[in-house]
Each structure stands twice: as C-alpha cells, then as structure tokens.
Amino acid sequence: MSEPEKWTPPEGSWASSAARRRNMQAIRSRDTKPERLIRRIVHANGLRYRVAAQPLPDLRRTADMVFRPAKVAVFIDGCYWHGCPEHYVPPKTNPGYWSDKVARNMARDRETDQRLTEAGWLVLRFWEHQDSDACALTIVNTVRERRPTLPR
C-alpha cells in the first residue's frame, strides 16, 4: 500500500498547513468573549443597540455595536488582528502574509474611522485586553450624552 499524499498548501495560500487553516478558520469574527461581556454590561445599563451592524449602508464594514440615534459605532479590536501596540507579536510562520494582513486591517480601521467621522458618527475603539467595565462605562456615558432628546 502506498502512503497517502501529504497536503501542501497551494502557491500563495495564506495557510502554512491544513491544521493551521482549520485553526485560523475557527477564530470568531464576532461574539467574542470581550464583546459579549461589554454588551452585557451596556445592556444592563438600559441601552439598546444593534450587534454586528453596518453603521452606513454604503460602507461594507460592520461595527461590533451600533447606536443609530446617537450615531455611535463601537469596535472591540482583537490585539493580534488589529496590531495592538502592547500585545501584537509578529508571527513566526508565514510572517510576510500575516504581517501584511494585519497592516491591511489597521489601514482599513483608519479608513473606517474616517468615513464614519465624515458622516457625523463617533467611533469608539477598544482593545480586547482593556477592562470591560471601563469600556462599557465609556460607551454608556458617550451614548447618553449624544442621544437625541425625545419629547415627552
């Protein structure tokens, strides 16, 4: 019997192995633990919001929390994927691809901030390692300050 053929990634592939590919595909893009914790605290403070929503219809980007009437978009950025100055460690495997990927993510984040700001939105960005209570308190206070007052 012949040995099974070893899987090799296609030329230009982002995954260095099948196992790495499975691992990277399993990483959540939404509903991460920090997001869920911050949302729970904000909700407990009486605020309602949209989860993983597009603040602007013509901008194909989603914010982790969107407060439409107050025009506040909240992003909770992962330290690795968004290049945290404190915690980002360049990868040892396939460093060219991954470092470029993170740099593209950072550039997209800046463009998103700019586009939302130009449209009258306030962008709040937090790192996943930041204290959830402090992040939630900032969100609650900011949204309450910006929320339009409704006639009673």
Q: Is residue 95 included in any domain, yes or no?
A: yes
Q: What is the DSSP string of 118-138?
A: HTT-EEEEEETTS-HHHHHHH
Here the CATH number for the domain that contains residue 99 is 3.40.960.10
Q: Is residue 2 included in any domain, yes or no?
A: no
Tokens representing 49 are 């919001």
Domain span at residue 93 reads: 29-146
Q: What is the pLDDT of residues 68-104, one digit of tens each?
A: 999 999 999 999 999 999 999 888 888 888 899 999 9
If one counts the domains in the chain, the total is 1
Q: Is residue 24 included in any domain, yes or no?
A: no
Q: Is residue 14 included in any domain, yes or no?
A: no
How far apart, in Å, are the Cα atoms of 26 and each of 22, 23, 29, 90?
6, 5, 9, 20
Distance from C-alpha of 116 to C-alpha of 94, rounded to nearest angstrom: 33
Cβ–Cβ < 8 Å for 115, 59: yes
The answer for residues whose C-beta is within 8 angstroms of residue 80's C-beta and 6 or more apart is 87, 88, 89, 102
Q: Is residue 17 included in any domain, yes or no?
A: no
**Please, is 66 exposed, middle or buried when counting C-beta atoms within 10 Å of its C-beta (0-12, 13-18, 19+)?**
buried
- What number is the average pLDDT over the span 112-130? 98
**Cα 34–chain centre separation:** 11
State residue 2's pLDDT score.
55
The pTM for the full model equals 0.81
Q: Which residue has the higher pLDDT, 19 or 31?
A: 31
Distance from C-alpha of 86 to C-alpha of 108, rounded to nearest angstrom: 20
Residue 123 has pLDDT above 70, yes or no: yes
